[in-house]
Amino acid sequence: MANPPPTFPLYPGPWSFFASGYAVSLFAMALLLNRIQNIVVPSRRSLQYLTRSSPDLRSHWTLLRLISPSIFPMDMSSTYSRTVLRLPTMYYILKSLVLWSIIFLQASDRFPLSLWKPLQFLDNWAASKEMDEVCWSTFLAICGALCAGALTRALEGVGTTNASPFNLFGYAFMLHFYSSPSTHTVKPEGLPSRPDVNVIFTIFVPLIQLSMIHFIGAKQSWSNQRLIPTTICSALTLIHFHSVLWFSPSSYPLLNYVSCIFDSLLLLVILGSITRLFIGHASSLMPKWDEDFSIVLLRLGIASLEATSVAGLGNEVSGISLTDHTETVKHQVRYGEVEMNRAGLSYTKKGFANDIRHVKVGTSSQGDPMVDVTWLMEFRRFGYSFARFTMGCWRILGRILRGQTDGESGTSNLNQQDIYERFLSGEVVSDDDEDFLPSGDSAPQYDDDDDDDGTGSDAPDDEADTFALYNDLSAVTTSTTTATLLLAHMTDTSSSPLTRRRYRNLVSGQHGIVDREQRAWEVFVNDKRGKMRRQDASVNESRRNCVICTIEERQIICWPCRCLALCDDCRQNLASRLSASKHTVHAAANLDDLNSVEGFSRIYIP
Amino acid sequence: MASASARALRRIQKEIADLNANPIDGISYEFVEDNLFNWKCSIKGASDSPYKGGTFYFKLALPEDFPFKPPAVTFATKIYHPGINDEGSICVPILRDQWKPSITLATVLSVIHEKVNNPCTDDPFEPEIAAQLKNDKAAFLTTAKEWTKKYA
């Protein structure tokens, strides 16, 4: 195949690339690799299946395995056969590697090989090579190496997860571009011209990477360990890029500029978010041995962007600080409405009475973009309050007309009416109606004793106290029926109301029976309650714990759906796994809430 | 960090406790080499299904980041079923795109149980078997029983 003409005066453009031998052989390579992958036997799937599941075929297969070495005496996966298969391509790769390293040394002028006698012939040999010849032989060596790698993989039937180990297209374009003398800056007398030293380095580094991968591929268990070579080479490239960019007057080759900037940005993102990234769930994100460095970089970069993003499950609404913005323009609404964002919270009512039914979560302080809706809602509120105001006015007016106003507001209205009715029914009405006690003549008031309720002390002790107190008092006071009844009520301090039976027991002095009955009843109740509690314990625990890990307590409440289902760790994990638009409680838990989560708060269950 | 898989392990232990407390009828399980991430389960064909009398083994492999990734189920015993293919993969939506971290293994096992014992033409993995079930149910039942006798 013909090389591009060396006398071409202009910079080689993309069109000349497509007309060159590089593009033609790229096309051929694509075809070849595809064919190797698809038609080279053994087909991995059928064999694996045969060995696994059908018993009658399995025996055939073991037989086949027994006789196969005598038919085809070569184990494809042994290091020896792999090395033999790779030997020719290894030679060519090594040759171009040596060539490029000498060219690099020559161009950098740091280590003059000519000083060292035995290597002088190498120096001369490399210096006399034309650039386009060097590039073309390198390209062919790389193609050969890739084919050999694909062939060994296919022969073993190993699933090729990352079949393309190398950006061949980009590399071919680079080689083509710099093989033309018009791009060269170094033009020595009598020798072929060379590109800039930085250019040579950018071509050299991927070649190192490829040869490393090719060489360690000779051993099957190492063939997928791509992380180390790619990391070394990418690090070299990045260091070189930054040293040229910041410390060197010469410019970095344009073809690699963008990818280097991209990689640097990703690194910056990862380093910037390293504290957030490495909490808890980093193991799933850690680089694996068979991954390319650039893929790892991209994956980690995206994950750290997601982990530090302030949307969805990553958007923690900030703490609620009760400051003095009491002068709210909003009118009183039926339910509280809070608006939460990262700056804080604005609210309309305070306290536990403020049942928040509607939570607006925003990342910015701007309100609803639908202006009409808010206007309508405000108008509705205004109408509602106006109606209430008119009603109130009308009521006051009516009261004035009836002559019953004493300047009190509407809240004590009911109370007043109550007192008025009692007054009509002939009761004595005192001013301090809270501690109202009727005198001895009036009818017994069962209600009054309820104030003594809820002391929470043990019932049997109370019972005994009550009995003793009653005995003491009844011994002193003159006995009329109403008086004893009243006395019984006044001395009764147990939590349950004084029933007829208990009153009879109290009067007749049968304290022990009550006691025993009461005890039996309580034992029964406690027994029953304990059983219920034990039964509920497991249910309670599963209701209290995070739905994902089922170990930690639920700590995260999601806005605006108010689902309390996750613990913080699982939230963090989810936040770094999914993009914010997919953050729904539905995605995490088995709930039918399809609303997307716009923010969350940590809650604390003391 | 090891904490992720340790958490997965604790959740799995909890699930096992749940499964022991409320066992699923017709399903038994054991662990391969005491590895809680690697289950070897078996399912008994229900008496009203064509798989009656057969015991079908399947492997349940839990990934390292378990609650976030679904377990992988592979049938080791050959079964003539529209939802289970030649390689032993079973087509259950909750093991694929509808997986949620809160789905328990008890749910997974009972869904598999349900799916195996009620072969239906919904989301088929073997279109030919599904077509046969639709058009010629008798032939399907015969083959299924035959395979059950032969392999399970």
ipTM value for the complex: 0.73
Q: Alpha-carbon torsion B34, A553, A558, A543, what sign? A: positive
Q: What is the edge-to-edge ordering of all strands in the sheet holding A556-559?
A: A564-566, A556-559, A599-602
Count of C-beta atoms within a 10 Å radius of residue A132: 20
Number of H helices, E strands in chain A: 21, 6
Residue from B102, B105, B107 whose CB has the most chain A CBs within 10 Å, to mutate: B102
- Nearest beta carbon to residue A548 from set B21, B67, B77: B67
- Give pLDDT, residue A57: 46
Nearest CB to B78 within list A53, A587, A590: A53
- The Cα-based distances of A282 to A53, A195, A225, A237, A307 in angstroms read 37, 44, 21, 27, 11
Alpha-carbon gap, residue A427 to A421, rounded angstroms: 9
Task: Give the one of A53, A282, A588 whose C-beta lies nearest to B88's C-beta.
Answer: A53
Q: Residue A305 class from Cβ within 10 Å (0-12 exposed, 13-18 middle, 19+ buried)? A: middle
Which residues of B, range 8-47, sit inside 8 Å of A by Cβ?
Answer: 10-11, 14-15, 21
Chain A residues near any Cβ of chain B (below 8 Å): 45, 49, 52-55, 278, 280-284, 538, 547-551, 565, 569-570, 573-574, 577, 586-590
* Per-residue pLDDT at A449: 43
Does A283 contact B65 at a Cβ distance shorter than 8 Å?
yes
Q: Is B58 within 8 Å of B43 (Cβ atoms)? A: yes
Please report the number of interchain residue pairs, chain A to chain B, with beta-carbon separation below 8 angstroms: 69
Predicted local confidence at residue A365, as pLDDT:
41
Give chain B's residues under pLDDT 70: 1-4
Contact B64 A574 (CB under 8 A): no
pLDDT number for residue A391: 92
Q: Which of B65, B78, B102 is the closest to A547 by Cβ?
A: B102
> Which is nearest to A440 in space by CA: A495, A496, A475, A478?
A478
What pLDDT does A514 receive? Answer: 58
Question: In Å, how far from its chain's centre is CA A270?
Answer: 16
How close is the nearest chain B Cα to the Cα of A275, in Å? 14
Look at residues A174, A160, A179, A162 and name the one whose alpha carbon lies nearest to residue A205: A174
As given in the structure block, the two tokens for residue A359 are 């939570």
Q: Are B52 and B116 in contact (CB under 8 A)?
A: no
Q: Which chain B positions have a beta carbon within 8 Å of A548's beta carbon?
A: 67-68, 101-102
Q: Which residue is catalytic, options B36, B91, B111, B131?
A: B91
| Residues of chain A neighbouring B85 (CB-CB closer than 8 A) | none
Chain A residues within an 8 Å CB radius of B84: none
Written as one letter, the residue type at A373 is V
- Tell me the CB-side half-sphere exposure of residue A566, using CA atoms within 13 A: 32
Q: What is the pLDDT of residue A366?
A: 44
- B77 contact A CB<8A: yes
Low-confidence ranges of chain A (pLDDT < 70): 1-13, 40-77, 110-117, 156-166, 189-190, 273-287, 290, 307-374, 404-419, 423-463, 473-482, 492-497, 509-515, 535-539, 578-596
Do the Cβ atoms of A45 and B87 come within 8 Å? yes
Best residue in A550, A569, A591 for a mutation probing chain B (most B CBs within 10 Å): A550
Cβ neighbours, 10 Å, residue A484: 17
The pair of three-digit structure tokens given for residue A351, joined into one six-digit string: 């306290």
Contact A573 B68 (CB under 8 A): yes
Rounded-to-integer distance, Cα A421 and Cα B67, Å:
67
H-helix or E-strand containing A345? strand A344-346
Q: Does B6 contact A at CB distance below 8 Å?
A: no
Cβ contact, residue pair A284, B88, below 8 Å: no
**Closest among A192, A4, A214, A7 to A103, alpha carbons compared:** A192
Are A560 and A361 spatial neighbours (Cβ–Cβ below 8 Å)?
yes
Active site (annotated) includes residue B120 = no
Query: Is the N-terminal amide bond of A560 cis, ω within 30° of 0?
Result: yes
Chain A residues lying within 8 Å of B151, measured CB to CB: 54-55
For Cα atoms B76, B81, B84, give the angle at the middle one, nearest 5 degrees. Answer: 50
CB A252 within 8 A of CB A241: yes
B114: helix, strand or coil = helix
- Partner A contacted by B150 (CB < 8 A): no
The answer to whether residues A235 and A297 touch, using CB atoms and an 8 Å cutoff, is no
Does B101 reach chain A within 8 Å, measured CB to CB? yes
